[in-house]
Amino acid sequence: MASTIFDCTELRLEAYEMYFKALTGANITIEEFEPETKFPFPDTPTTLRLPRCVEKLAKPIFFQIALAHRAQRITTSTFKVDVLPIVDSEKLAKLDDEVNGFAESPLELFFRCFADKHLAQFIYQCLDDMKIDLNLPHYYPGLTGKLGKVIKASLSDRPVLTGMVPKAAAMELLLQASLGHRYSSLPYPIVEAGSEIYAIIDTISFFDISQQSVLEATVRIYSCINALPSLGKLTGFDNLADITANPRRVKNLWPNPWPESARARIEGDDILDVTIPQVAYRGSIEALLASAPAAAGPDHQALYRLSKLSNFSDSEPDLGSRPKMDGPPEPLPHEHHDLARELHHHEEGELHHKGGNSYLYPEWDVYQQRYRKNWCRVIEEKPFAATDGEKVSLQVRYAKELNRLKRVMEIPNSNAFTAQRRRSGGPDLDYDAAVDAMIDLRSGMEPSENIYIDLVRKKRDVAILILIDISASTAERVENAEPILLDLSGLPSQQVKERPPRILDLEIISSLLCSNALEGVGDAFSIWAFSGTGREHVMLSEIKPFNQSMSGVVVSRAAALKPVHATRLGTAVRHCGKVLGKIQAETKLLLVLTDGRPYDTDYGTSYGETESQSYAIADSDMAFKEIMEMAIDPYVLTIDAQGEQYISQFKNVQVDLLKDVSQLPERLLKLYLNLVIGQQSYKSRVRTAASNQNLLQKVVGKTSV
């Protein structure tokens, strides 16, 4: 593993997901968040969230401890508690009756016994995390050294108590104590509470302490901290009190009355609420407390375990039985009027770079029969992330299409890969190596991390780039296609909105389905989206890079795509040709999905409106010719109803017109199969012919001599 101090390299998250499965037997997805996020989203039953970058220690060490900690939380008794010894059954039943008929988990009932349930939850998690850290070396002795490094790094990131209000300082003191750090002296306002907290912690700092003891310690520490004020910051450590002068003894601290009455909230008192960031490697239990599964469909990060959605039933729900709700008005037809041109500010002459994410390309002027140098600027924009509603909606649509087209996606792959065992990463576990590693782990030795089977491409040498047109016209809806759900946020079924899919929706689904097939057969592939607003800003967004596996992150980017602007096809093709040119592959394909002819606000309009179409098509056709000279084979699949009017003008690319837009997913899959098989057989014939020609020349040469 890496030994650098700061490791921000992209890791194979699949390997860590398999590592977690080996510890717990549970399938999860790992989602990374930016390190500057102070309060990241909590873990869910199917998604664990870990920081993208880790300071002060190697990232693999952090991931191993973070996942082992979470694994212990699941496999031990964190959520299996009995609150009856603390809250009598009569009061517990009364609490349970107040939840509108929804059954709560024991921990949820326990926290509702407190006036400040968020404080109680914070205390409980600190104590439970401390218990897990104490138990971890006993269950996995091989992780003892790494756990110490992670705890040390976590303590170095904790804030000082100076400048905090007394309640926040006591909470931070508790959290640091759960990591093994103790203060010898404390500011006078919290010294008594700190002494009691240490005394209570000492009673439960043992291996395999019962969860009942953790619950009781939570109540007692809650009484210590809740009594402290949330105003008046600690102003320095010049007025410190020696903690030894306050003997540690466990007082009979217990809220009275118990359970506490609900806290009376008044306007503006939220300023008194105190929050402390949790420790990154421990995560948060907030989303794991509920006893019932979350509503609104599967977890958004787990929705595209692309090969694992085939368990959807063949019988689809009758969506037509739901009453349709009036939605927003449909977008206007894709009219190329002069308004956009009036709002667009043109630059004169050759363009220049704007930042490190800009690229300049020429444009072919068919009327002057020459290139315009540095005439178009490509801006690579960072993809956005989709909202939860967009992800879930796309998930349902994808699942249906996957179920319908699963036979088309079954591609023969008998000789595509060779399996290599005992590797540091891979799509499957090497069970022999995993058993050896678990034996080492249990016996106190450093376990080997080479416990996976990696599939290495053996014969196939194909790279494919899928380019999606996201111009404004892709917002038009396909009326004859099956309606899709637009809102799955937990609304009653009679309020769920259904609308025909947009052209863009079908393009995205088609790309993801094709990507599923590509991933399965082992071909290298990438997904890009493009649009443009004048030659100065041709936007391209990389949805799925060549060196990244399919994941929830890719799906999130795809779900966030929005129809924008126009279609400057030639410039987008040239940029994708540059991307493909850097890939080492024998067969390179560019598949373009578009809904109409090339068009932009200034795409040849200087020659008049009637000539702009010929100009745009000629430039696009020249761009296809350029990438063909780079040994890249282009193919265009257009869904423009008026496509027959201009398709014949393309000379350097094969264009297929699809009149039924709803058949786009299936058509793209079959196109991929035909193209790859055709390309391989064609190149095989070329190699054979070249070999025969060389042989003939040698024979002729020898004869002539």
The residues spanned by each domain of the chain are: 13-263+270-288, 344-407+458-673, 423-457
Report which of 284, 296, 389 is spatially closest to residue 44, judged by C-alpha positions: 284
Cut 0.75: pTM above it: no
Report which of 380, 379, 366, 373 is spatially closest to residue 603, judged by C-alpha positions: 366
- Average pLDDT per block of 10 residues along the chain, 705 residues long: 35 78 84 69 78 80 91 81 72 55 70 86 93 91 91 90 88 94 88 90 87 90 88 73 64 71 56 76 77 37 37 40 41 40 63 88 93 93 76 73 70 59 79 85 83 69 90 82 58 56 86 81 86 90 86 84 88 95 90 87 81 90 94 88 78 85 82 67 41 41 35
Three-state SS at 187: strand
Two tokens at 621? 């056709």
Q: What is the pLDDT of residue 299?
A: 38
Report which of 69, 193, 202, 210 is spatially closest to residue 119, judged by C-alpha positions: 193
d(CA 47, CA 300): 9
Find the radius of gyration of the CA atoms of the chain. 31
d(CA 353, CA 149): 45
Let me know the angle formed at the C-alpha of 111 by 107 and 117, rounded to the nearest 5 degrees.
145
Report which of 434, 432, 512 is spatially closest to residue 468, judged by C-alpha positions: 512
Contact present, 582 and 632 (Cβ < 8 Å): no
pLDDT tens string 70-97: 998 888 777 777 777 777 666 666 655 5
d(CA 568, CA 620): 8
Interior/surface letters 617-637, b for 16+ CB within 10 angstroms, e for the rest: bbbbbbbbebbeeeebbbbbb
Report which of 475, 532, 479, 531 is spatially closest to residue 505, judged by C-alpha positions: 475
d(CA 530, CA 600): 12
Q: Crossing angle for the helix pair 59-75 and 117-139, nearest 10 degrees?
A: 110
Task: Kindly give the pairing relationship between strand 370-381 and strand 358-365.
Answer: antiparallel
Q: Could you tell me where the beta strands, DSSP code E, fall in 234-280?
A: 240-242
pLDDT tens string 428-441: 778 888 888 888 88
The answer as to CATH 3.40.50.720 being correct for domain 344-407+458-673 is no
d(CA 596, CA 599): 8
Residue at 290: amino acid letter:
A
